[in-house]
Homo-oligomer: A and B are copies of this chain.
């Protein structure tokens, strides 16, 4: 490792017969310095391609310009878009993002938090796990004066800035769309009711039915636990084999809808003519199924970007943020699986 020593601020000072403080000031654009000095220093620095030592600056200023970010899983398309959005915005403001995954396990979320805190991040962007029923590990950030901005999946156990998807509205629109397409017995493959997003979607589903004069029936709702493709398949089988036999399915997530689609197709049902199908999240793959899957877009990129923006603003103002929530609207994406007309 033939590491050639890099030129430091002191080197410049010595060579230019200035004090380190002057050089520092010149480079950082302080006022009250003669134009000549500034010119000279800048030129010299440029010529010897001086690069300030980030570690020294961080150390001195007691900040890293790094934001921690915890998501359940990077490989989930939605989260990868939020990451992408947060990264771009952060970079624009001179921040970088240190990532960690919780795998939707509280245990791993705690580990990740401690890890990021130890790395000295300036703040935390987090979408909490489904298991998160305590928030001491998040409070730890706040205790050290590091803001926490929650997004997508949030917990009220930690007051502070939150960005949520308007799941209620998204579900309401989706189900309303199904009703307008003429479907009348709309079932819902829901998630766990303790999980806020899932509950909101359920409520949106219910309200849409009621507002359009359709009866809500418990028997048309199935709770997925793992939110898996298999559950989509199995619950759809149960529903289609039951007396209720719905003519449309609104699924908590595209993956579940995919399972439903597989069951329906393998059992010879025609989508969307015989039965309509609707997912949620607008995964990349929804476009590529046959028929393509209608869904609800959550604007992951924008969400990540907003979270980062918010964080940076808090950091700039030395503020921990109020206990306020920003609701992000969703957008219905109508595709083949629900287009009867």
Residues of A within 8 A of B (CB): 1-4, 6, 51, 53-56, 58-59, 62, 64, 66, 73-75, 77, 80-81, 83-84, 87, 91, 96-101, 115, 118-120, 143-145, 229, 258, 262, 265, 284-285, 288-290, 318-320
Q: Which residues of B contact A119 (CB under 8 A)?
A: 54, 96
Q: Given B59, B100, B289, which contacts A56 in the complex, CB threshold below 8 Å?
A: B59
Q: Which residues of B contact A258 (CB under 8 A)?
A: 288
A3 pairs with B101, CB closer than 8 A: no
Q: Which residues of B contact A73 (CB under 8 A)?
A: 84
Q: Which residues of B contact A91 (CB under 8 A)?
A: 100, 115
A75 to chain B, nearest CB (A): 5
Q: What are some 30 contacts across the A-B interface (CB < 8 A)?
A: A1-B319, A1-B320, A3-B144, A3-B145, A4-B143, A4-B144, A54-B118, A55-B55, A55-B58, A55-B62, A56-B59, A59-B59, A73-B84, A75-B77, A75-B80, A75-B84, A75-B284, A77-B77, A83-B99, A84-B101, A91-B100, A91-B115, A96-B98, A96-B115, A96-B119, A97-B98, A99-B99, A258-B288, A262-B288, A285-B288
A64 pairs with B75, CB closer than 8 A: no
A58 to chain B, nearest CB (A): 5
Q: Given B2, B318, B319, which contacts A145 in the complex, CB threshold below 8 Å?
A: B2
Residue of B nearest to A2 (CB): B145
Identify the 4 closest CB pairs spanning chains A and B, nearest first. Answer: A3-B145, A1-B145, A285-B285, A59-B59
Residue of B nearest to A120 (CB): B54
Q: Given B75, B115, B145, which contacts A81 in the complex, CB threshold below 8 Å?
A: B75
| Docked complex Cα distance between A285 and B261 (Å) | 14
Q: Which residues of B contact A54 (CB under 8 A)?
A: 118-120
B118 pairs with A101, CB closer than 8 A: no
A124 to chain B, nearest CB (A): 14
B284 pairs with A265, CB closer than 8 A: no
Q: Which residues of B contact A59 (CB under 8 A)?
A: 55-56, 58-59
Known: A77-B75, A145-B1, A288-B289. A87 touches B99 (CB 8 A): yes
| Docked complex Cα distance between A119 and B81 (Å) | 23
| Docked complex Cα distance between A56 and B96 (Å) | 19
Q: Which residues of B contact A84 (CB under 8 A)?
A: 73-75, 101
| Docked complex Cα distance between A2 and B318 (Å) | 10
A90 to chain B, nearest CB (A): 11
A318 pairs with B1, CB closer than 8 A: yes
